[in-house]
A and B are shown apart, each in its own frame.
Chain A
Amino acid sequence: MPRRHSPPPPSDFDHTWENRPGFVGWLAVVNNQPVGKRFLVTSFVFFLLGGVLALLMRTQLAVSENGILGPQLYNELFTMHGSTMMFLFAVPFVEGLAVYLLPLQIGARDLAFPRLSAFGYWCFLFGGILFYATFFVNLIPDAGWFAYTPLSGTRYSGRGLDFWLLALGLVEVGGITAGIEIVVTILKFRAPGMALHRMPLFAWTMLVTGLMIVFAFTTLLVATLLLELERAFGMPFFDPQGGGSSLLWQHLFWFFGHPEVYIMFLPATGVVSMIVPTFARRPLAGYLWVVMAVVVTGFVSFGLWVHHMFAAGLPKLSLLFFSGASLMIALASGAQVFAWIATLWGRRPALKTPLLYVLGFLFLFVAGGVTGVMVAVVPFDLQVHDTFFVVAHFHYVIIGGVLFPLLGGISYWYPKFTGRLLSEGAGRIAFGLIFIGFNVAFFPMHIMGLYGMPRRVYSYPASLNVDGYNLVSTGGAYLMALGVLVFVVNLLRSMRAGEPAGSDPWGGGSLEWTLPSPPAIFAWERPPRVGGRHPAWEGNVEEPGASRQAREALDRAPVGWRATLATDVLTGEPESVQWLPSSTLQPLTAALALLLVFFGVLVKIYLLTVAGLIGLFAAVIAWLLPHPATLAKIQAGGTALAAGLPLVARRGTGWWGMIGALTTLGMGFGVLVFSYFYLRIYSAAWPQGGLPLPGLLLPAAAYLLMPIGAVAMRAAARRMQPNASQSPLAPLAMALAAGGGFLIFHGILLWQTPFLPGANAYAAAWYAPSTAYLLLALVATIWTLGVLRLTRRAALARTPMLENATRLGFLLWGFTAALGVTLYLALHVGAYV
């Protein structure tokens, strides 16, 4: 692959990829590299803040009966420490790494939905600021990062919890969008020839992680919304006094919370699987076994949630199912550990900083893994659950298993980010301090836990005999902090003073090492061709003519609009030329509107919430509507023609994006329906409190309107095809009428329901999905309205873009219709069973 050391003078192509200058231009950036860097830097700052909180906590715990902080502040600190590390550091950091690296590693010019990644970043940033704003208004959340109900309800917790919930909501939205983005990018934007079985391991782990984020974060998002509905509007989902269940929150939270651990861990293993082959100078041993382990981990992580609830009084039988799954997931980690060892075996690798972190990871992660097996065993867990033994266990897993690989990853890719190497000497000192400090800080916690020291206590009596261990642990924490400080200074100093890295300082095998450091903003002047798992190690590859034609057509092209190659999900062969957006303020506007929605709830000025919702709808519509000038440029340019490819593929990024959105919605409604049935298990009477049973006939008539609309949308999509003869206007109008009719009909039925959402848990659990469905139907109807308007514009009639929009509209309608039938069966018919 050619490596250009002196770039050619800027051309129209470079100009196409240039961003607007100035501060507004900075706000309008959507490219993956700057957005990825923003994710990385912001989340790393939050990591440092979370670390400071941890040091304060360790200071308080240094000796028994210590009075430095007091209970209130201590509880606030551990709440913020956990929330920061989980939501503001680990997940955004791995997302940032993926946002930055994936296009370089799989050979694309950007992510599938650049505006969505910028939107995700703004949501994350606003959420993080909202989290830390609590320190300035002295409303710091204090119910733990897990916020168990009823402690987190209004009766026992103040406004800090509203901040926590709403900030978390924003961060979750950012997380979900990044998740969908990452999955679709990996599926659709791989370089020609990068078939599924040639994908770098980091991409595999991010593919699985992205999917996990979609399912897990959606669960948490719905759970936080339900808790906020309870707190703000008195809908008692979790409040026993209103018929709610105190344990429902735990089920929802841990159904998110356990996968969350693996959402952080899997990308970290992906990093390890990239570093290890580079330093061993050979391919990863047992590639398929490692992929299998990653996929198994992704799935099984959703089957471990109850092992956080072994002491919650559930039937013993159901605990044991989860014991089984919790033990079995260790096998997936075992396979990976042995694959890494097999890869390194006998290769005498150079012990540079990235590899040191990997070796530290191997030791610490296995140490945390074996205690993980111990806490999967019910009778033993009942003893150590919620003690410092568990604190030790999960810090070994999260710091050892996640932070170490990530620090290794930073050391490994820093030259790619900045063009300069980190100081190796400072890097080793930092590693040594962090490794020793970590073990000194956390190993004694195992013993403290066994001696009976519970978690989340600001003070402990001297009679527990754990003073010495605590003091040592605090010393270790400071040592570790010193190591982190050295690491940070190294990062900052090397930016200017580091040795120039060249394109490939380590001799890595994946695609990003064939690019200059740092890469151009579009990364690839010409899309690369891949013939194996380690393109940088492999020479020229055979290439089908179609692939060559497509790549040549995209060589420093198109000009005037940004584009990359979209390829087939399985084989990676070129499929279409995908338009990519340029700088725009749309993501920022949409994120600000969403912030306004949440802020209105926070200050209880619901007019702001309504205004925000309208703004959000407007922003998203503006985002989705094609810009006529751009459209003209795309259609005029001959790039797609030269590439021999269409501009829109049947299963293109839009289709996959819609599938992602519908999956998210399906999961969200699934959580609502699950909550309904969970509440039902533990209610003596259903409906609770003598409320009337829901109607059967009229709701059936209403819900049936949506399938009618879906059928009409299907007809419209057919009539949009280039060779169709009939006009699509009539079926579109029919779908519009069905949607509008449903909105009015269903709205009236909701209005006339003889009880209010706050009446009891049944009422709350009935209203939540019924009302959310109204919003979904509104979205589907607006989609149809949009298509109808565009159809009447001559320039757009019968374009592939519009046909695609109609097909996606049919997908949305079909999903909505099926969901409506499900809800009708569950909430209406089901109540009589």
Chain B
Amino acid sequence: MLHGGDGVSRLRLAAGLLGGMVAWLLHLAGAWYIAEWGCQRGFPALALGPLNGVVVALLGLTVATVGLAAGAGMIARRCRRELATVREEGIAAAAGYDTARLGVMLDAAGLMIILVQSIPIFFYLRAC
């Protein structure tokens, strides 16, 4: 039973299901550690024009995790579309279809929370 149904592998389903939330977790833990370390020691090497190094690191982290969450969302959406037509046909496809739907919702939630918790970065562009 390696397949969730009709060609959708469980690995893809799992990635689509949990990718967004994992991305969010990485963003929060990373942002905290960067702020904690950076506001103590600074990251002069990363400074970019008027932006201080800490902010550059934080923005980089945000872009990366937004990408991760969006990517997971895309995987989940594709799984959902592939399973939509066959979900009446068997329990595996039906379960996979709902799992993929859940994944789309979770990834959207992850993406939104990452964006909301990134708001403060833009208020601290010059200093901690």
Contacts and interface: CB of A to CB of B under 8 A. Distances in A.
Physical interaction between A and B: yes
B21 A296 contact: yes
Interface in A312-336: 314-318, 320-325, 327-328, 331
Contact of A197 (B32, B99, B119, B120): B99
A69 to B, nearest CB: 40
10 closest residue pairs by CB, A with B: A324-B117, A320-B120, A197-B98, A318-B35, A195-B95, A315-B39, A303-B28, A299-B21, A292-B105, A328-B113
A325 B24 CA distance: 10
Contacts of A320: 117, 119-120
B21 A196 contact: no
A331 to B, nearest CB: 8
Given A328-B112, A328-B117, A299 B25 contact: yes
Interface of A: 193, 195-198, 288-289, 291-292, 295-296, 299-300, 302-303, 306, 314-318, 320-325, 327-328, 331, 568, 570-573, 575, 681-682
A681 B40 CA distance: 8
25 contacts: A195-B91, A196-B98, A197-B99, A198-B95, A288-B105, A289-B105, A292-B109, A296-B106, A300-B24, A302-B25, A303-B24, A303-B29, A314-B36, A317-B121, A320-B117, A320-B119, A321-B32, A322-B28, A322-B32, A324-B117, A324-B118, A324-B120, A327-B116, A568-B1, A570-B13
Nearest to A682: B40
Contacts of A303: 24-25, 28-29
Interface in B12-47: 13, 21, 24-25, 28-29, 31-32, 35-37, 39-41
Nearest to A305: B32
B119 A291 contact: no
B4 interface: yes
Contact of B95 (A292, A321, A570): A570
Given A321-B31, A324-B119, A682-B40, 8 more contacts: A196-B98, A198-B95, A288-B105, A318-B31, A320-B117, A331-B109, A571-B91, A573-B1
Contacts of A328: 112-113, 116-117
B31 A288 contact: no
Contacts of A572: 91, 95
B96 A570 contact: yes
A315 B101 contact: no
A196 to B, nearest CB: 5
Contact of A295 (B21, B92, B121): B21
B105 A315 contact: no
Interface string B59-99: 00000000000000000000000000000000110111011
B25 A306 contact: no
A296 B39 contact: no
Nearest to A324: B117
Contacts of A327: 116
Contact of A292 (B4, B28, B102, B113): B102
B35 to A, nearest CB: 4
User: From DSSP, what is the main secondary structure of chain A's interface residues?
Assistant: helix
Nearest to A331: B109
B53 to A, nearest CB: 13
B30 to A, nearest CB: 10
A193 B91 contact: yes
Nearest to B1: A568
B128 interface: yes
A291 B121 CA distance: 31
A636 B37 CA distance: 62
B107 to A, nearest CB: 10
B35 A315 contact: yes
Contacts of A324: 113, 116-120
A318 B105 CA distance: 27
A197 B36 contact: no
B105 A570 contact: no
Contacts of B94: 195, 197
Contact of B28 (A196, A291, A317, A325): A325
Interface of B: 1, 4, 10, 13, 21, 24-25, 28-29, 31-32, 35-37, 39-41, 54, 91-92, 94-96, 98-99, 101-102, 105-106, 109-110, 112-113, 116-121, 124, 128
A142 to B, nearest CB: 31
B99 A570 contact: yes
A571 B1 contact: yes
B106 A681 contact: no
A292 B29 CA distance: 22
Contacts of A317: 35, 39, 54, 120-121, 124, 128
A492 B121 CA distance: 57
A570 B41 CA distance: 48
Contacts of B13: 570
Contacts of A681: 36-37, 40-41
Contacts of A316: 124, 128
Contacts of B92: 195, 570-571
Interface centre among B37, B41, B95 (most CB of A within 10 A): B95
B88 to A, nearest CB: 12
A295 B14 CA distance: 13
A193 B94 CA distance: 11
Contacts of B120: 317, 320-321, 323-324
A315 B52 CA distance: 15
A295 B76 CA distance: 16
Contacts of B112: 328
A196 B95 CA distance: 6
A162 B96 CA distance: 50
A535 to B, nearest CB: 14
Contacts of B118: 324
Contact of B10 (A289, A292, A570): A570
A826 B54 CA distance: 22
A292 B117 CA distance: 20
Nearest to B108: A292
Contacts of A292: 102, 105-106, 109
B16 to A, nearest CB: 13
Contacts of B21: 295-296, 299
A289 B128 CA distance: 38
B42 to A, nearest CB: 12
Nearest to A544: B91
Interface centre among B37, B41, B91, B113 (most CB of A within 10 A): B91
B113 A325 contact: yes
B13 to A, nearest CB: 8
A294 B16 CA distance: 17
Interface centre among A295, A318, A327 (most CB of B within 10 A): A318
A5 B54 CA distance: 70
B119 A570 contact: no
Contacts of A295: 21, 102, 106
Contacts of B54: 317
Contacts of A571: 1, 91-92, 95
A306 B113 contact: no
Contacts of A325: 28, 113, 117
Contacts of B98: 196-197, 288
A318 B120 CA distance: 9
B99 A306 contact: no
A196 B116 contact: no
B71 to A, nearest CB: 17
B128 A315 contact: yes
A707 to B, nearest CB: 25
Contacts of A314: 36
A91 to B, nearest CB: 22
Given A288-B105, A571-B91, A573-B1, A318 B113 contact: no
Nearest to B120: A320
Contacts of A575: 1
A295 to B, nearest CB: 6
A193 B24 CA distance: 33
A321 B96 contact: no
A218 to B, nearest CB: 16
A288 B102 contact: yes
A207 B1 CA distance: 22
A648 B113 CA distance: 42
